[in-house]
Amino acid sequence: MTDVSESGFKEVTRVADARARLHEAVTPHGRTDRVPLRVAEGRALAEPVDAVRNVPHYARAAMDGWAVRAEDTFGAGDRSPAVLRETDREGSVGPNEAARVHTGSELPEGADAVVMIERTDRFGGEVEVFDAVAGGENVAPPGEDVTADQPLYEAGHRLRPSDLGLLKATGVREVEVYERPTVGVIPTGEELVQGDPEPGEVVETNGLTVSRYVERWGGAATYRNVVTDDESALRAAIERDLTKDVVVTTGGSSVGERDLVPEVVEALGEVLVHGVALKPGHPVALGVVEGTPVLMLPGYPVACIVNAVQFLRPVMKLIGGYPVPDHPTVEARLARKVASEPGVRTFARVSLAVEDGERVATPTRASGSGVLSSVALADGWVVVPEGTEGYDEGRTVDVEDWEYYA
């Protein structure tokens, strides 16, 4: 626990502990669909998938040239070529015969090798072969790429476009996948508007941003209209979305007079965590109502995004049967010092550039939790653990790409 009473919280919970409490309160939904490959991209497999057939499913020429019986070329060389008859029979090669083939062509019956075109000469109906070839040479046998019944993907694998191509090639037409976890996204705040703002009004961005992240992370988002700071209205909005797998609210999660969402959730169910030791975004609350997790994200845009990545992403994947891959990172040298409070996990936004062949990370100068451009124009963030009091200029750090699709 960390004392942050100056921010209105007597104590906050560490990120790992907050995430553990939330995960204990939810279970995978277990719902599945059987879908054709054309709509399966991005879905998580609900069962392992094996190949149905060999790839290739026939022996094929791996080179342009002549299909032959290897034994008919034994002893052939530049000075004493083997002379074979060009066959005009469809799909077969007999003794001392050769059939013209192209890369990918089916190997004619009777042939067991291919002589490359550049090692032959053709005169009339005869083919001179200047190289001896062994059986199977320049031939792709059935199953060279994938064999029938070969395991391809485990349950939980999230399908990429290349996966769909492989599945189709191996004879798979449909796959059993988990249903996309459903998420109700409820922006809150009496000052929010969707159109051009008047003085004192703020354009609603958090709900839009979070709903797009939901789709990117494999869920199905319902982006609701703005709900004002009124207990009855907030209660009705949350209750409406309890049919979803997750409810997310944005704004109203702190401890001010208009921060009513945690009180409403407590009245409907249970608030598991209120205040987390991360920056920006410690005024986050996590709860559960009638078995449905409710994530109450802060209203400041950067704080909202940080908490969505830290809590919504893993919960969605847990519920939907997805693995939770780490965000990819790159190493870079810090151009300036990154400060951090003891006991708080800090997410410092940085831009990346290459200077003299070295990757350099420069902390964004606009670093407040309400400065959306500090995220939108950044290339990643540097995560400073709770036990570290910042990083010095010149230190090599990992820059995390939180925009990663998986």
Determine the pLDDT at residue 226. 95
- Mean pLDDT to the nearest integer, 60-75: 96
pTM to 2 decimal places: 0.82
Percent pLDDT > 90 in the chain is 82
Q: Phi/psi of residue 152, each to 5°?
A: -110, -55
- Find all residues with CB under 8 Å of 405, minimum gap 6, and list them: 216
H-helix segments, 241-370: 261-268, 301-307, 313-320
How many C-beta atoms surround the C-beta of residue 162 within 10 A? Answer: 8
Show the domains of the chain with their CATH numbers.
2-31+179-320 (3.40.980.10), 33-55+144-178 (3.90.105.10), 60-140 (2.170.190.11), 329-400 (2.40.340.10)
Reported as a pLDDT band with limits 50, 70 and 90, residue 324 is: confident
Mean pLDDT of the chain: 92
Reported as a pLDDT band with limits 50, 70 and 90, residue 404 is: confident
Closest Cα partner for 62 from 12, 109, 23, 116? 116
CB 138 within 8 A of CB 115: yes
Q: What is the pLDDT of residues 328-352, one digit of tens each?
A: 999 999 999 999 988 999 999 999 9
- Mean pLDDT to the nearest integer, 391-396: 95
Determine the pLDDT at residue 1. 40
CB 59 within 8 A of CB 140: yes
* CA–CA separation, 282 and 14 (whole Å): 10
Residue 403 scores a pLDDT above 50: yes
Structure tokens given for 301? 């845009």
Q: What is the pLDDT of residues 369-386, one digit of tens each?
A: 656 666 777 899 999 999
Reported as a pLDDT band with limits 50, 70 and 90, residue 406 is: low
Q: Which amino acid is at 337?
A: K
Closest Cα partner for 299 from 210, 184, 225? 210
* CA–CA separation, 175 and 160 (whole Å): 13
CB 103 within 8 A of CB 139: no
- Mean pLDDT to the nearest integer, 378-395: 92
